[in-house]
Amino acid sequence: MMLDAGAETDVVNSVGRTAAQMAAFVGQHDCVTVINNFFSRARLDYYTKAQGLEKEPKLPPKLAGPLHKIIMSTNLNPVKMVLLVKENPLLASPSALDKCRRVMELICEKCMKQRDMNEVLAMKMHYISCVLAKCVSFLNERDDQLDGLVKSLLKGRDSDGFPVYQEKFIRECVRKFPYCDATLLQQLVRSIAPVSIGNDPTALSVLTQAITGQVGFMDAEFCTTCGDKGAQKRCSICKMLCREDENQITLIKF
């Protein structure tokens, strides 16, 4: 609420600490994540208005709300992002998703070229654009559309159930970051590249820690399907698969 009202995230207190740093000091890791990932609606609304000689805005106003919800999500699991796309009818068409993808690329570019460069936000916008691009690809090429994408991201290999497709997809997203000299990109590559697919840390965990600041404190159950915090139900077959509701489990029946 304070952030929406215009509170600044980089202001320091009398001891030289920002709000995020103070929250981390007292163990409020959820607060740290929210602060670090805040992106005001006003910054997105800029693209809903025609600028200069443009005849129409880059982003239709009706898409600003659904896209902002995806941007503000602190859960970077690609399954969760696809579910956010899937649940909103306004994002059901490839053309709408492609416009959203283009805006994400523009924000990424702006974050890297502005005076106060923000590599973290740029990487997040780039990652979202990659997920949206993959959604567009499946909508254009597959009959089962986004259900097929969710199944591909969740399907594990026979030996241990590790989601290889998801791991390779996230690694590819990181590799495609267009600013090769970025310090954050180099850190991600050094952390991910030496790790064999199937071992820890996964590309998702490394990317999540870099962007949201979450270190992976296991003080709550996380949904194995989409990665959301607070899952309480478990698969009746394997007893290990956490999920949030009955709709989640239907997505992993192959």
The reply to whether 29 and 48 lie within a common domain is: no
The reply to whether 20 and 146 lie within a common domain is: no
In a domain, 21, yes or no: yes
The reply to whether 59 and 180 lie within a common domain is: yes
Q: Measured in whole angstroms, how far is the alpha carbon of residue 166 from the centre of its chain?
A: 13
Residue 142's pLDDT is 80
In a domain, 211, yes or no: no
Element holding 234 (H helix, E strand): strand 233-234
Residue 39's pLDDT is 87
The reply to whether 121 and 53 lie within a common domain is: yes
In a domain, 249, yes or no: yes
- Residues 6+ away with beta carbon under 8 Å from 213: 20, 24, 29, 32, 33, 36
The reply to whether 71 and 160 lie within a common domain is: yes
The reply to whether 244 and 144 lie within a common domain is: no
pLDDT tens track, the chain, 254 positions: 566 666 666 667 777 777 766 766 676 666 766 776 778 899 999 999 998 888 999 999 999 999 999 999 989 999 999 999 999 999 989 999 999 999 999 999 999 998 888 899 999 999 999 999 999 999 998 876 799 999 999 999 999 989 999 999 999 999 999 999 999 999 999 999 999 999 999 999 999 999 887 654 445 567 888 888 766 666 655 555 455 554 544 444 44
Domain end (from 170, 185, 206): 206
The reply to whether 90 and 25 lie within a common domain is: no
Residue 52's pLDDT is 87
The reply to whether 65 and 145 lie within a common domain is: yes
Work out the burial of residue 45: count CB atoms within 10 Å of its CB; fewer than 13 is exposed, 13-18 middle, 19 or more buried. Answer: middle
Q: Could you tell me which of 120, 96, 109 has the C-alpha nearest to residue 188?
A: 120
The reply to whether 231 and 192 lie within a common domain is: no
Cβ–Cβ under 8 Å, residues 15 and 23: no
Cβ–Cβ under 8 Å, residues 131 and 82: yes
The reply to whether 138 and 253 lie within a common domain is: no
The reply to whether 51 and 176 lie within a common domain is: yes
Report helix, strand or coil for 233: strand
Q: Give the domain range for residue 177.
A: 40-206
In sequence order, what are the beta bridge partners of 229?
Answer: 222
The reply to whether 119 and 150 lie within a common domain is: yes
In a domain, 47, yes or no: yes
Residue 214's pLDDT is 63
């139900």: which residue's tokens? 233
Amino acid sitting at position 183? T
Structure tokens at 18: 């920002």
Number of structural domains found in the chain: 3
